[in-house]
Amino acid sequence: MPRKTDPEIVAEAAPLISEKSISQKALAKLLNLSPATVSLVINESPVAEAIPQSTRDRVLEAARLHNCRPNHAARSLRKQRSFTIGVVVPEVSEGYAALVMSGIEDHLLQSGYFYFVVSHRHKKKLLEDYAQLLMGRSVDGLIAVDTPYRGHLTVPVVSVSGHDNAPGMTNIVLNQRRAVFLALEHLVQLGHRNVAFIKGQGFSSDTKTRWNAILEAARELGLKVDLRLRGQLEGESSSPEVGYRVTKKLLAGGRAFTALFAFNDISAIGAMKAVREANLRVPEDVSVIGFDDIQSAAYQNPSLTTVRQPLRKMGEIAAQTLLQRISSTGSDLYEKLIVLDPELIVRSSTARASSRKQ
């Protein structure tokens, strides 16, 4: 009688035992593989990449049929880790935090880590409570996204755009000076001299740093910054409404401007609506430039010129850096600062300066 293949064995056994889980050791015996091979594949170990894809496919299919799952409890006890990360964000919404989170999530899942996400809504008490709550869940480390944190924790912390020099923290930041220089240089080359600015909310970690970078870049480019053409986002909302409101105030202020540099893409979208409602055209009368390059920026009408932050990459690097620090616990040798470069994305919302007067 010819010897049955592994897929045939699995297929015959499935109706009998698919509703009942079996151990990894039993699955290895069923497939005539070593327990180590089965364990590496099921637990998604990086070492499993060296195992032929056909073998990995066989193991995963058999594990699915026989309800054989990774033993996370045993893994945690063996490694003395929870394999869980805490992620703290201001809020979960379209834009900045969502894109950073996508990068964090991808890397953590690929590395076999779970994560908790909490949003503090810019409330100091919530931020303090969440830090302790996550520590109570025995997380191996924390990632703070656009969240100031100056306390001291017993686990590694990686901050994305936090700008805090706290003990035990790695900061991942954008080169803000380069970012605003690219935006202002673009406007100056288009002949804009009267530029309005929208600053971020006071609670945003990037607001002060970016405004100082704007002043420095403007001096270098010979562009005069008129503080009467400076508005600031107000309130905790992350909708275009806040950009809309502040732009209406700028337009009603009696000072002419031919370009507007918004704090982020969300506020730039609101700004364009306010400009149109004032019977002005974008970009013929007022050029608008945003910041971040969120997914919807390219689909606005007109499509939004913006400074692209590598937000997804920032999230991936944050997760990768944190896991590296966790694996080398006890070492004082870790990167304190990681700086990433921006990119100017020129679309249809900017054009040569108009000669309109008010």
pLDDT tens digit string along 230-252? 999 998 778 899 999 999 999 99
Which band of pLDDT confidence, cut at 50, 70 and 90, is reported for residue 111?
confident
- Measured between alpha carbons, how far is 243 from 266 in angstroms, rounded to an integer? 7
Q: Report pTM.
A: 0.76
pLDDT band at residue 11 under the 50/70/90 scheme = very low
Question: How far apart, in Å, are the Cα atoms of 211 and each of 96, 164, 189, 220, 230?
Answer: 18, 17, 21, 14, 10
CB atoms within 10 A of CB 32: 8
pLDDT in tens, 55-102: 989 988 888 888 887 655 445 444 556 788 999 998 877 678 889 999
CA 334 – CA 323 distance, rounded (Å): 12
The distance of Cα 186 from the centroid of its chain, to the nearest Å, equals 26
Domains of the chain: 6-70 (no CATH), 82-174+311-340 (3.40.50.2300), 176-310 (3.40.50.2300)
Partner residues linked to 1 by β-bridges = none
- The confidence score (pLDDT) of residue 72 equals 53
Query: Which pLDDT score, from 0 to 100, does residue 20 have?
Result: 66
- Which amino acid is present at 122? H
